[in-house]
């Protein structure tokens, strides 16, 4: 999917909401556990109920890998379902991969070609040749970790190198890589005050912003500091939406939560055109 197509969807739905499918067998309604594939059954209900309010779904691969072969199957079925039923939706494999070149090429093949996600999250520690194999794939996007939402972000990402924080160095350096126009960046909502400076470095890039909701970030601050002329934001919520209820009408309640966020986003988008 092109960023232009993503942007059109954002304006149409008046939303830049990404819903994170951190699907955990210990948290989904217990009655679903008797289904043949409980993870997929849960995802399908969530997607069908919430897709009017979201422009993207982010599948957190860890939750599926933790369930072994069955989990991997559920992950596959979920992305196949999204691509078949809602091809206009932007899909993210939140996999945080990255390795030497020939290995990264294998991960790129797995997520962007075989499973046909629109994008995959990648860790920058191993540098250029660990990221470029992902960037090589046309009409796909590589979402590079810049400044993450967790406390550990302060261990290394904010250390100064040559007077510049490492996460800024990562962003600056990544702009020199081949096909860098296919890059997006992860910036945590809990670090909203850093967004203004990040926008100076990458005025037009899309940012995937986790950490609103369960992790304590504020949507208003994210928009205030992070919204670009062409929106440039995908704000993710996982637990706050998908686990809003454990009852049989969990999907309906998730949709209500998603709609609340979509309305806040619509209000923020309307400011953009004032």
First to last CA, the chain: 29
CA distance linking residue 116 with residue 108, whole number of Å: 10
Q: Which C-beta is closer to a copy of itself: that of 7 or that of 110?
A: 110
C-beta closer to a copy of itself: residue 94 or 118:
94
- Compute φ and ψ for 59, nearest 5 degrees: -100, 120
Q: Measured from the CB of residue 182, what is the shortest distance to a copy of itself in angstroms?
A: 17
Contact yes or no for 78/51 (Cβ under 8 A): no
Residue 10 or 112: the one with the smaller Cβ distance to a copy of itself is: 112
User: How far apart are CB 70 and a copy of itself at their closest, in Å?
Assistant: 10
Least distance to a copy of itself, CB of residue 271, Å: 30
Whether 96 is catalytic = yes
Q: What is the nearest approach in angstroms of a copy of itself to the Cβ of residue 139?
A: 19
Tokens 């998730």 -> residue: 254
Among residues 70, 77, 96, 128, which one is catalytic? 96
Nearer to a copy of itself, 71 or 226 (CB): 71
CB of 188 to a copy of itself, least distance (A): 9
The dihedral through the CA atoms of 47, 50, 56, 62 has a sign that is negative
Nearer to a copy of itself, 60 or 205 (CB): 60
Minimum CB distance to a copy of itself, residue 5 (Å): 26
Q: How far apart are CA 253 and CA 241, in angstroms?
A: 8
Q: Which is nearer to a copy of itself, 76 or 218 (CB)?
A: 76
Residues that bind a copy of itself (CB under 8 A): 22, 24, 60, 62-63, 65-69, 72-73, 76, 94, 96-104, 106-107, 109-111, 114-115, 123-131, 145, 148-157, 159-162, 166, 169-170, 173, 215
Catalytic residue numbers?
Answer: 96
């Amino acid at each position: 999917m092109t960023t232009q197509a993503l942007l059109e969807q954002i304006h149409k739905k008046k939303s830049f909401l990404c819903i994170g499918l951190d699907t955990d067998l210990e948290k989904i309604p217990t009655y679903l556990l008797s289904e043949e594939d409980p993870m997929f059954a849960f995802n399908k209900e969530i997607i069908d109920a919430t897709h009017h309010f979201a422009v993207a779904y982010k599948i957190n691969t860890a939750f599926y890998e933790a369930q072994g072969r069955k989990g991997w199957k559920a992950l596959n079925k979920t992305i196949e379902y999204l691509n078949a039923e809602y091809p206009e939706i932007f899909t993210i494999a939140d996999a945080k991969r990255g390795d030497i070149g020939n290995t990264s090429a294998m991960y790129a093949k797995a997520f962007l070609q075989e499973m046909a996600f629109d994008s995959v999250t990648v860790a920058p520690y191993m540098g250029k040749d660990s990221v470029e194999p992902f960037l090589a794939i046309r009409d796909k996007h590589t979402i590079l970790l810049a400044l993450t939402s967790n406390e550990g972000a302060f261990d290394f990402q904010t250390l100064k190198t040559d007077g510049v924080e490492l996460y800024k160095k990562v962003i600056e350096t990544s702009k020199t890589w081949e096909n860098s126009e296919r890059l997006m960046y992860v910036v945590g909502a809990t670090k909203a005050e850093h967004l203004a400076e990040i926008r100076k470095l990458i005025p037009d890039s899309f940012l995937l912003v986790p950490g609103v909701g369960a992790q304590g970030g504020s949507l208003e601050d994210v928009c205030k500091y992070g919204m670009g002329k062409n929106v440039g934001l995908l704000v993710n919520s996982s637990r706050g939406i998908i686990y809003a209820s454990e009852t049989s009408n969990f999907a309906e309640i998730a949709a209500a939560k998603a709609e609340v966020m979509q309305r806040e986003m619509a209000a923020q988008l309307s400011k953009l055109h004032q």
